[in-house]
Amino acid sequence: MPRGKVTGKSSSKPGRQLLFSEALRQQKHRQAQDPPPHPHTTTDNMAEGSQGVSMDRIQQEISAVGRKLEGMDSVMVALTAETRSMCLEIAGFQSQISGLDQRVTTVETLAASWTDSGQELMYLRSKLTDLEDRRRRNNIRLLGLPEGIEGTDLISYLRDILPKLTGITFDPPLEFERVYRLGPNRQDGKGRPRSIIACLLRHSQARQLLQTARAQGPLRLGTLEIRLSADFSKETVDRRRAFLSLRPRLRHLDVKFGLFEPARMWITKNGESQTFFDPEDLKTFLDRLQEQAQPMETTTLTLQDIRGSAVKDPLRAVE
């Protein structure tokens, strides 16, 4: 029995080998019948696949660009319409600017004519003021006479009282064209008495009264203080007040001055004399003098600080 088993195993091994050999023979037969594949076949198939993918992407991108271009076309249409509207607005602005230029030209022309007219108006106004002052040359203004002191005849009262106040004997006697008080009548007599305007017939007598009153100062009538002054127009009075307001500055700058009728200021500084008809011109002149005097004052103060406040002449202290 052991011998039989060994014999069975040895008989099955050659059968397996025969089956394997037959399978190899059939495979070789099939390979001999089929042509071998081309070496580039696999590569070409991959290339064709990738090329297809690339073309699809390109088409998709082209489609996207086309859609964007369509959107840009609509935007361009909107921009074109807006540009046209802006062009129309600019054209309207240009027409308005042209109209404004014409208006400015008209205004400049009118301003130039108004400047000439203004200068002419100022000249005429000054002439009118001068004529009014000349018309008032024979007038004198009396201040301080109480209300009702004259009784019923103011002219006779002044003809009698003025020679006594001034001490002047008039030959011929004083004659008046008209005499009146300024302002409404005060029945109660309260407040300051109204001024009296007396228009004399002769200019020489009016000048004589004013010169005497200026030399003597306030005139006395018992306990009353009477003042006489010239009668000027409002414009002249304002100019005189403006000149008189500059007197402290004139004294501070050591400038000699005098106010002459109707309203002109005469000054002398360092031997040079000038006449001013406008207070603003005099202010400008004083400002210039003060600017020139400031460095000298600063130098004087510095020398006084060095030498002591008791030194009055800084130049002598330096020596």
Confidence of residue 56 (pLDDT cuts 50, 70, 90): confident
Between 171 and 21, residue with greater pLDDT: 171
Percent of the chain whose pLDDT exceeds 70: 75
* pTM summary value: 0.55
Average pLDDT score, the chain: 79
Question: What is the rounded distance in angstroms from the CA atom of residue 162 to the CA atom of residue 170?
Answer: 10
Lowest mean pLDDT among 41-45, 59-63, 267-271: 41-45
Q: Are strands 196-200 and 224-230 parallel, antiparallel or unpaired?
A: unpaired
Tens-place pLDDT, residues 76-106? 888 888 888 888 888 888 888 888 888 888 8
Cis peptide before 172 (omega within 30 of 0): yes
Helix (H) or strand (E) holding 229: strand 224-230
Tens-place pLDDT, residues 146-189? 888 888 899 999 999 999 888 898 989 999 999 999 888 776 66
Confidence of residue 317 (pLDDT cuts 50, 70, 90): very low
Between 235 and 24, residue with greater pLDDT: 235
